[in-house]
A and B are shown apart, each in its own frame.
Chain A
Amino acid sequence: MMQSSPLNARRVVIWIGRLVLGGIFIYAGFSKLLMPNTHLWPMFVLKFSISMNISSFAQQVESYKMISPEASQVVAHTLPFVEIVLGLLLLIGWRLRIWATAITAIMVSFLAVVTRAYLLHMDINCGCFGTPEKLTGMTVVRDGAFTALALLMTIFAFMEAREPHPWSTPEKA
């Protein structure tokens, strides 16, 4: 007999978090590499498109005026790939607690950066995805919602890890 239902509220939240945040991270990473410039062929044109998109993203990072232009370049050249890898790992579910914690940490830092820019009335693009998107109160609300989901997913993932697996055989007394 099963000790608990495979679909309790915590597991539903974990699944929603994995699907939503995993999907968003993968999309965010790819869109930063392949948008707004989407010419994909021949190969040198694709290379130029990606270089241009990374360059635009670096400017958006720099526009927050928190780190140096050199550091912005490092962020722009690494963050899209990190987002894709983390999104995939979250969807796969391997070592979930580690990657959920990493995604939560990134979401908290995104929220902090976006909130700071909003409170300083900075007239900039948020740089969340590849296409230009003005940073508004809605950006802060959206990031806040995703951060809350990431936090819940991570906390529940740790709580669920302490429980026996729903399909495991109950230990005999």
Chain B
Amino acid sequence: MDDYVTSGKVYLIHRDFPLPMHAYSRIAARYARAAAQLGKVEPVEQALFQNQEKWEQNGDVDGTVAAVLSPAEMNKVRTLVKGGTLEPLIDKDYTLGQTYNVNQTPTTVFHCKGQTYPYSGLMPYDVLKQFLDQLLSQK
């Protein structure tokens, strides 16, 4: 983030693509979206990814998110989640993902100088850095 996004070299857009095979992924996407509206997306996403195995088993997304937010923030998040306004935004992201044939998460779609490169899977930072440097140095 500091090397490429903050410095303005790369523009990063986060999209949701809750996979139907994971029972609670859409609920998790709602909570992450709601947290994003409060400017708390990073700690919430970190908590969701780190505890994925637990909430995938017991479905306790709410408890996982509550562990990293204050009670006041959590009340706002719960209101947004129950409000139903986040659902169309998640659906829109999902539809966009389908146009790139996304079938697993995470998937990263790079756009550079008219070229598009969708990549699925987690990226080790040194591999990503080398790729971004070469992509940015392309004429």
Contacts and interface: CB of A to CB of B under 8 A. Distances in A.
B5 to A, nearest CB: 19
Given A36-B104, A132-B103, A132-B104, A52 B119 contact: yes
A86 B97 CA distance: 38
Contact of B134 (A37, A39, A44): A44
Given A44-B131, A132-B104, A37 B122 contact: no
B127 A36 contact: no
A123 B121 CA distance: 17
Contacts of A48: 119, 127, 130-131
Given A44-B134, A134-B21, A37 B127 contact: no
Contacts of B103: 36, 132
Nearest to A50: B127
A44 B130 CA distance: 9
A123 B19 CA distance: 14
> Is the interface on chain B under 10, 10 to 19, 20 to 34, or 35 or more residues?
10 to 19
Query: In which size bucket is the chain A interface?
Result: 10 to 19
B54 to A, nearest CB: 13
A51 interface: yes
A55 B119 contact: no
Contacts of B120: 36-37, 52, 56
B124 interface: yes
B123 interface: yes
Contacts of A31: none
Interface in A3-17: none
A51 B117 contact: no
Contacts of B131: 44-45, 48
Nearest to A37: B119
B122 A56 contact: yes
A53 interface: yes
Interface in B1-27: 21
Nearest to B131: A48
Given A36-B120, A49-B119, A52-B120, 11 more contacts: A36-B103, A36-B104, A36-B121, A37-B120, A39-B119, A48-B119, A55-B122, A55-B123, A55-B124, A56-B122, A59-B121
Interface of B: 21, 56, 103-104, 117, 119-124, 127, 130-131, 134-135
18 contacts: A36-B103, A37-B120, A37-B121, A39-B117, A39-B119, A44-B130, A44-B135, A45-B117, A45-B131, A48-B119, A48-B127, A49-B119, A52-B119, A52-B120, A55-B122, A55-B127, A123-B56, A132-B104
